[in-house]
Structure formats: C-alpha cells, structure tokens
Amino acid sequence: MSQPFVLVVEDNETNQMLTMAVLLRDGYRVLAASSADEALAIIDTERPDIILMDLQLPGQDGLAFTRALKNDPLTAAIPVVAMTAHVMMGDEAQALAAGCAGYIPKPIDTRTLSGDVRRYLVGAR
C-alpha cells in the first residue's frame, strides 16, 4: 500500500512544521498550504487522502473552504478534519456541520496525531 497523502492547510508556520514533522516521521506523505487558494492549487494537481484543516485561515476561512470542498463532486469524498485552537462549546459542532469528519484540538498531541489521522482515514473507507 502506498503512503497516505495528507494535505495540511495551516497558516501558522510553527504549527504547520510540527504537524508535518510528526506525520512524515510516521510514514505519511505530506504537503502543506497556508491558505485555501494554495490548497486548491495542490488539490488541482493531486488528490490528498485526507485534509487537516485549520479553521482560522487568511482569506477564505477553514469552515467556508470545507463547505466548498464538500459541495464539489470532485472533492466531496476527501475527509476533512478540523484542526483548531478554538475549542469553545459549539466549535466542534460547527466543524461537523460544515462537513468535517472530525476535530483535532490544538496544540496537537504529537503522540496521538498519526493515530488520529489513521483512524479518520479508515473511517472514510
């Protein structure tokens, strides 16, 4: 089986680098985008197996971008998992309502991130 391809959509460089390092260490193929526009450029050339989506992005926010991906037949099947520091009551429900398959709070737990991603990938199949 080939390496699962994860697209990390995260505008904070530190969070982006940490998430990528953990996933690369654990055998995932990873690309990162800092905005919805950058993510779309990647998705236009190759399909990720899963997208980790920051909800606070410059320009189009992560919820709006997730809704757009879920409304497009070409990308609707790609699981999107919200990754956000916003862990107030109702935030998870908003992410799920926008089409996210799940919710990973930040700061990420480097010990469990890869397992969480694997679980969402298995759940999507």
Arithmetic mean of pLDDT over the chain = 93
Q: Provide long-range contacts, Cβ within 8 A and 24+ apart, for 111-119.
A: 113/19, 113/22, 113/23, 114/22, 114/23, 114/25, 114/26, 114/28, 116/81, 117/4, 117/6, 117/23, 117/28, 117/50, 117/52, 117/81, 118/4
pLDDT digits (tens, 9 = 90+) for 45-94: 999 999 999 998 999 999 999 999 999 999 999 999 999 886 666 778 88
Domains by residue range for the chain, with CATH: 5-124 (3.40.50.2300)
In this predicted structure, the answer to whether residue 118 has a pLDDT above a threshold of 80 is yes
Which pLDDT value is given to residue 93?
85
